[in-house]
Amino acid sequence: MPQKPNELERRLVRERPGQSFLFALASDKARDEAERLYPGELHNARGDAFRHAYWSALMVKRSKSIEDARLYGDAHEGIVSPSGNHSRETAMDLHNNEMGRHIGMVNLGKSDEELSVEVQKWLDRGLLLPHP
């Protein structure tokens, strides 16, 4: 079940409704793919790492902007400022978001399915963090 949007996310929806809609669809796609590939591993496990990275990669693909993807990913984590102390879980999510943005940027021309495979490869190589 999707989380309720936090205040930072609600502000982005008000300021950027079109992009917010596209990114919400990307979030749903990432969640569905994570559930399909990693059932039972959706919180602080491989499916969680995959979901964060894949959503970030999809946002970059759709917007052609690492900065827009970072803005939404940070808002989802409740991050107002990039500096500061974060919980281990939030730090893990931020790392996986960053890796996903990189995957998205170097694979802009690939299909969503090909992006999914790339994210899985990064997870299998240990480049994504499945545990805090």
What is the 3 state secondary structure string of 8-21? HHHHHHHHCHHHHH
**Stretch (H or E) spanning 93:** helix 88-106
Classify each residue of 12-21 as buried b or exposed e, where b means 16 or more C-beta atoms within 10 Å of its C-beta. Answer: beeeeeebbe
Residue 81 has pLDDT above 70, yes or no: no
**pTM listed for this prediction:** 0.93
Q: What is the pLDDT of residues 31-75, one digit of tens each?
A: 999 999 999 999 999 999 999 999 999 999 999 999 999 999 999
